[in-house]
Structure 1
Amino acid sequence: MAAAAAANDTTAPARPAGPQLKLLVDKRSRRVLYAEARKDAVDFLVGLLRVPAGLAARVLAGHGVAAPGSLGTLYAGARALDDAFLAVPTPADRDAVLGPAALPSAALTLLGVSLAAPPPPPPPPQQKRYYRCNAYTLPCRSNPLNVTDVPGLSCPGCRQPMMVEMKWAPGAGEAPGKAAQAEEQPSTGGYVKEVVTYLVMDDLTVEPMSTISAVMLLKKFDVKDCSALDEMTVELGPKECVKLLKASLDSTTALTDVFSGGVSIDRLE
């Protein structure tokens, strides 16, 4: 009885909706002209660049080669967004998300491309070390004032070799190694900010949306009668992720192929 009552309980909180795209679809051809997206949907699409095929697209971009399909335009659009729209705080964080990634050649075969092995990365810079004199003789006794990063250099005060290594004391609120960790890990707040609605084209190009951009797109697609357009809202989840990734590997009309099943722009032109 308790289980049945729980099943019929309509007061339970609804499951929160996932990322959504609001598509504008041409009724005749069923092609997607463009989509409106909030931050969560854009972060979802940028996340496609972090799975193996998306990483391969980033590698190609790092070698100056445009990736086939919609992955290349998704990468280029995300890379071109102005800093004002980004949630990542520093250029290093943007590079952690979108910078070229090192992958085994097997991952690149997903895009049917083979590249020469890149040169090995430079070794990480060594942490600087500082030294002082032994502070045994005047005028430095018990109060050394000179420091150097060259061990053995003669102290300007007491003329003794500076061989005693100093320890770095981090400032208030600064943990040791914090800066290095920040460079290695991207921001956890997603890729873009929530302040605006974003425009997603059929080839997954992303840019901030405005009234003017929407009107110019309708002009570009020669839309004279708005009654010829359909509005469709789709939710993005694991299944859509797989479908979008598959479509984006060889198509520049990924939204149409996955959500509308219409005539792709490639076949119309």
Structure 2
Amino acid sequence: MVGSFGNIYHSIDNLGTVYLQPNVNKETLLKPKLHISGGGSGVPLKSPDFASSAKSRKLYRCARDTSKCDLYVAYDFNTTCPSCSKVMNSEINFVDPPSTNGGYVKGVVTFMVMDDLEVKPMCTTCTFTLLNKFNVNKFEALEEKVVDLGMDGVC
């Protein structure tokens, strides 16, 4: 990918896990499946609600308490255990992953988007690196610009 869209892609690809919510798969951002109106299938760009989907599912394991049987779980209580061929009908507790609050990045992290659409975390080191890159010596010449991005465009 080239140009500004390539910059977005590479910025996300190089973004460290320290900035992302736990259990977030970066591939859903790098290779999104778009939903085409009127047909087709795909994943909406809104992040999944992990907590609500996890609470609606029950998991089952084999009633036999052996180390080989403990390796398997199933969504259906009629599933046959691959280890002993008994029915997996013993319900187990599912622990919800941490809430993502509907996003991919941690809430306390702030990002800057450059005019070439490169995305960088706002941290002291990143800021000084950027100032050096553009040979900025007079800090009073800097100006903060906040741009809201939405479904209707840039505001």
TM-score, normalisation: structure 2: 0.53
The yes-or-no answer on 1:208 pairing with 2:121 is yes
Whole-Å Cα distance in 1 between the matches of residues 119 and 140 of structure 2?
A: 26
Q: How many residues align?
A: 112
Whole-Å Cα distance in 1 between the matches of residues 120 and 129 of structure 2?
A: 14
Q: 1:27 aligns to what?
A: none
For residue 83 of structure 1, report the CA deviation from its aligned partner. 1.4
Secondary structure, aligned partner of 1:79 = helix
Q: 1:68 aligns to what?
A: 2
**Aligned pair in 2 of structure 1 residues 190, 174: CA closer, same or farther (>3 Å)?**
same
Q: 1:172 aligns to what?
A: 92
Q: 2:12 aligns to what?
A: 78
Deviation track 1:59-115 (CA, whole Å, cap 9, x = no partner) reads xxxxxxxx232111111111221112111515xx332332365999xxxxxxxxxxx
Give 1:4-23 correspondences, 5 Å limit.
Answer: none
Secondary structure, aligned partner of 1:231 = coil
Give 1:26-105 correspondences, 5 Å limit.
Answer: 67-90=1-24, 93-99=25-31, 101=33
**Aligned pair in 2 of structure 1 residues 171, 83: CA closer, same or farther (>3 Å)?**
farther
| Greater share of residues in helix | 1
Q: Name stretches of at least 5 consecutive residues in structure 1 with no aligned partner.
A: 1-66, 105-126, 132-146, 149-164, 242-258, 260-269
Greater gyration radius? 1
TM-score, normalisation: structure 1: 0.34
Whole-Å Cα distance in 1 between the matches of residues 3 and 116 of structure 2?
A: 8
Whole-Å Cα distance in 2 between the matches of residues 230 and 239 of structure 1?
A: 25
Secondary structure, aligned partner of 1:194 = coil
Alpha-carbon contact 2:7-2:117 (below 8 Å) kept: yes
Deviation track 1:114-135 (CA, whole Å, cap 9, x = no partner) reads xxxxxxxxxxxxx88447xxxx
Larger RCO of the pair (alpha carbons < 8 Å, separation 6+): 1
Whole-Å Cα distance in 1 between the matches of residues 90 and 133 of structure 2?
A: 57
Deviation track 1:12-34 (CA, whole Å, cap 9, x = no partner) reads xxxxxxxxxxxxxxxxxxxxxxx
Alpha-carbon contact 2:7-2:118 (below 8 Å) kept: yes
Q: Name stretches of at least 5 consecutive residues in structure 2 with no aligned partner.
A: 37-73
Q: 1:235 aligns to what?
A: 148
**Identity %, equivalent residues:** 32
Alpha-carbon contact 2:120-2:126 (below 8 Å) kept: no
For residue 205 of structure 1, report the CA deviation from its aligned partner. 2.0
Secondary structure, aligned partner of 2:136 = coil
Secondary structure, aligned partner of 1:230 = coil
Q: 2:105 aligns to what?
A: 192
Alpha-carbon contact 2:112-2:121 (below 8 Å) kept: yes
